[in-house]
Amino acid sequence: MTTTSWTGPRGVDGGLLLFRIRAVPVVLAPSWWVGSAFVTGLYAPMIGQLLPGTSVVGAFALAAGFALLLGVSVLLHELGHCVVALRYGLPVRRLRLFLLGGISEVGRSPARPAQEGMVALAGPAVSIVLAALFGALLLIGPSGGALWLLLMEGTLANAAVAVFNLLPGLPLDGGRMLRALVWGLTGTRVAGTRTAVAGGGLVAASLLLWALLRQVQGSPDRWLWSGVCAMTAWFVIMGARGELRSERERVWPEGLVLADVARPVLQLPAESPVADALAAAAGRGVVLVRADGVAAGLLDQPRAEHLAAKSPLAPAEHAAEEIRPDTVLLESDSGEEVIERVHGTAAWQFLIVDTEGRPAAVLRRDDLKAALAARRRG
């Protein structure tokens, strides 16, 4: 199970940092060990049927090797997503391996259907190439033995990862490709998401039906596949629901104007006493400007209140929040662009500038969240 997630900011918590690729952390979640142990325990008994005469220790070693090989295959699959997303300028928060799969957490949704389609396609393409490489080695190498079995497992594992992820349902890669296709044809991302979510429901139902069929047929590997199918179906259902919820949250309510949500802006000298800056703010956003005319940042109210309690005459610049390119919004930005930026950026307030780059207002995350929630309830 691998997928790409258009998600908000997250840290590197909840796992072991393996390495970084272009500053993107690759994390091994604790649940990966659980999933690998599950695969090892259920697959080991099958080794004796594939390689008669294998000892119990050897069977578990080969099963553990298969679990590791599957993990590496998923990692390379996700790296395919990650590299293409970065090439399009999409920020990737982290790449995380968990339970029986992986996820690339992309911080911003693609702006065009073609971008989403290419990012989604990159993972299965890597898996297909890996399956072909393992298959070629399998054909030229000697048949039988532990090495032959590992090569066969590598071929089948990567082929399975590619085929499964090409199924047309969210949150799988095939679902994202389906959304990109419908989005491109209709011009509406929401229509693409709804179609792909329905596809995800069909994928989950098909997995459960297939597991039931294996049970009825009495297949020797029925318990292995029943467990895998049940967990995968749960993953698909929860992922599809999350995608639909996320799509609803990124829709800008009709009639809502950004100016009605944003706060007026006030410019103050950066050397102003922090207590005076707080008093002058009176609920407005404050841009602190140095003597040379360069903005020192936005006044961070919680930090300013803490500083004022200890040292009310300290320069307000000491409680400034840096103004970064990703925390600047344009008055001309669409509602969806505003939601996307706020959702995908680790900041609690954003500076809105006019067409000439002058400060026009300040948008706070909580204000936007409250306004959107009120409109949706209404």
What is the number of helices (H) and of strands (E) in the chain?
Answer: 12, 12
Structure tokens at 320: 């400034």
Distance CA 89, CA 273 (A): 40
Q: Identify whether the C-beta of residue 362 lies closer than 8 Å to the C-beta of residue 301.
A: no
Cβ atoms of 106 and 74 within 8 Å: the answer is: no
Residue 319 gets which letter from DSSP?
G
| CA-angle at 196, arms to 208 and 163, nearest 5° | 60
Residue 180 CA to residue 259 CA, distance in Å, equals: 32
Query: What values do phi and psi take at 136, rounded to 5?
Result: -65, -40
Q: How far apart are CA 70 and CA 110, in angstroms?
A: 29
Residue from 78, 105, 243, 317 carrying the catalytic annotation:
78
How far, in Å, CA of 71 to CA of 18, rounded? 13
Q: What is d(CA 78, CA 97) in angstroms, rounded to the nearest whole number?
A: 9
| 310-330 exposure pattern, b = at least 16 Cβ within 10 A, e = fewer | eeeebbbbebbbebeeebebb
Q: Active site includes 271? A: no
- Would you please indicate which residues are annotated as catalytic (active-site) residues? 78
